[in-house]
Chain A
Amino acid sequence: MAGARRERAIEQFERFVTETSDRLLRTAYLVVWDLGEAEDLVQDCLSKVARRWPRVRAMDQPYAYARRVLINLALDGAVRRSRRREEVAIEYEPVDRRSEADLRQVEDAATLTPALGQLPPRQRAVLVLRYFEDLTEEQTAALLGCSVGTVKATTSHAFSKLRLSDLRPLSELPLLKERNSR
């Protein structure tokens, strides 16, 4: 009997991996912006879920639990990763300022993507949860263990950075130009 139960648990877990690894990897990739790190994170995440599977499978939303583990792993590791990286999140000032209308015109997916990669991981995590995972502000706050006000403020700060980044291609920013010319 115990063997049969274990078999069933393994089957359920394997199905869970098949069904969720794709989504978890994409979410991790968007948060850490690095495929290798994202794969590591998802493996760590699924290993943790595996060890708690008897409890996790009884939950209403096992995927939501796995996603919480994943985000926590990603943000816990963000500080460590930033220390060892040469390139940390680049803070910069726009060279010129344009009207809000101009800014809105240049806001499209192509220009936003490189700017997203420059955001600090926590800001990116909030955006990913809100606009890729389609969580509400309340759900995002609960997952991150912060207040709704913090989620709103983080989103607002991230939006500001994304807007400013639209002013010119990243390759033309002084800091990057200097690096590229070395």
Chain B
Amino acid sequence: MIDQIENPLREALRQHASQIPDAAIARLRSVEYHPRSARWRTPVGVGAGAGAAATAATVLLLGGSQPAFAGWSATPTPTAASSSQVSAAQAACQAHLAAAPPAGALTPITATGQGMAPVLTDVRGPYTVAIYADGSSSSMTCFTGPSFTVVSNRSSTGQGTSVGGSVSVAGGSGGIASAGKSNATSFSEGKSVAVGTAPADQLQVYGAHLTLPNGSAYTLIEGQAGSDVTGATLVLDNGQRVEARTQGGWFEGWWPGTATAVTAEVTTTGGTVTEQLPAWTMPPAPPGGSGDSPGSAVKGEA
């Protein structure tokens, strides 16, 4: 016989469990718990601020391994099929920015969504890139994976000129308050250039080589897309093709490693054209995939 209390009890438990904010789940996913690592980092104490509830996070260092970006795909995953991942990524980004905004951050994204707003979301397997903009020529790019969050900040003083950038990293920590601790992240950026013949079919291309604290290198290109641009495919110097994500006047693409994009096949309402990406679009890859390179803007948080 079913007790009368069972059904309301199930509902009460379900309702109470549903109150957990996405940011809490994102925090758990941002911790690195790699198996069979030889070393443990000293537990990190995280304050109660910003809703960070983890108080004795224990994390595993990577022990020199360089996990690849497992699950990455050259073609974006439909974001509609990854809504929970996107929500978690956005929550992680906002929490990270609230706790540790990159140096020179223009308008911090707040938990209430004020300030910069998300303009593009690119999901590739378990990885999510979200670009935030505030309507000016400035943007923030947030890159999240199962065990890290990287936020870069970019501002421009006019078309084609990149003047600043910084990176802060949350990864290998138990919470956002210890973001980026001890590990510098290389950030080698190029200049923003226009590709195309008219603003409506142009891409404003901006590239950067980055390296996670665990040594995993990746390369990211992003920028604004003209109103006629409906898609773009990047061709790398190793022959690989990466389909960029275009959304709301922005485009973005990234790939594991340090290969450089050499051409962009830009699809507009009038057809597809192949454009060479000028050499200065992207700087040389950082030697060894890590460390600073000339002109880089690096922020390794203490």
Please indicate which of the listed interface residues B13, B14, B34 has the most CB atoms of chain A within 10 Å of its own CB: B13
List A residues 85-139 near B (Cβ within 8 Å): 104, 107-110, 112-113, 116, 127-128, 131-132
The answer to whether B12 touches A113 (Cβ under 8 A) is yes
The answer to whether B31 touches A54 (Cβ under 8 A) is no
Assess whether A68 is interfacial by the CB under 8 Å rule.
Answer: no
The answer to whether A131 touches B9 (Cβ under 8 A) is yes
**Given the interface contacts A42-B28, A104-B4, does A14 sit within 8 Å of B147 by beta carbon?**
yes
The answer to whether B24 touches A15 (Cβ under 8 A) is no
The answer to whether B28 touches A21 (Cβ under 8 A) is yes
Q: What is the total number of residues of chain B having a CB less than 8 Å from a CB of chain A?
A: 46
The answer to whether B16 touches A113 (Cβ under 8 A) is yes
Assess whether B53 is interfacial by the CB under 8 Å rule.
Answer: yes
A4 CA to B25 CA, complexed, in Å: 29
Contact partner, A113, options B15, B24, B35, B126, Cβ 8 Å: B15
**Given the interface contacts A47-B58, A50-B35, does A112 sit within 8 Å of B8 by beta carbon?**
yes
The answer to whether A127 touches B13 (Cβ under 8 A) is yes
A141 CA to B20 CA, complexed, in Å: 27
The answer to whether A30 touches B17 (Cβ under 8 A) is yes
Quick one: CB contact mask for A34-56 with B, threshold 8 Å, 1 for yes? 01111110111011011101100
Contact partner, B36, options A6, A44, A47, Cβ 8 Å: A6
Assess whether A76 is interfacial by the CB under 8 Å rule.
Answer: no
Contact partner, B9, options A26, A46, A162, Cβ 8 Å: A162
Assess whether A65 is interfacial by the CB under 8 Å rule.
Answer: no
The answer to whether A18 touches B3 (Cβ under 8 A) is no
| Residue in B closest to A8 when the chains form the complex, CB atoms | B70
**Given the interface contacts A10-B65, A11-B67, A47-B60, does A108 sit within 8 Å of B54 by beta carbon?**
no
**Given the interface contacts A35-B24, A36-B53, A42-B28, does A163 sit within 8 Å of B5 by beta carbon?**
yes
The 5 closest A-B pairs by CB, nearest first: A36-B53, A53-B35, A26-B17, A109-B11, A11-B70
Query: Chain B interface (Cβ within 8 Å of chain A)?
Result: 3-6, 8-18, 20, 24-25, 27-29, 31, 33-37, 48, 53-60, 65, 67-68, 70-71, 84, 126, 146-147, 174
Query: Chain A interface (Cβ within 8 Å of chain B)?
Result: 3, 6-7, 9-11, 13-15, 17-18, 21-22, 25-27, 29-30, 35-40, 42-44, 46-47, 49-51, 53-54, 104, 107-110, 112-113, 116, 127-128, 131-132, 159, 162-163
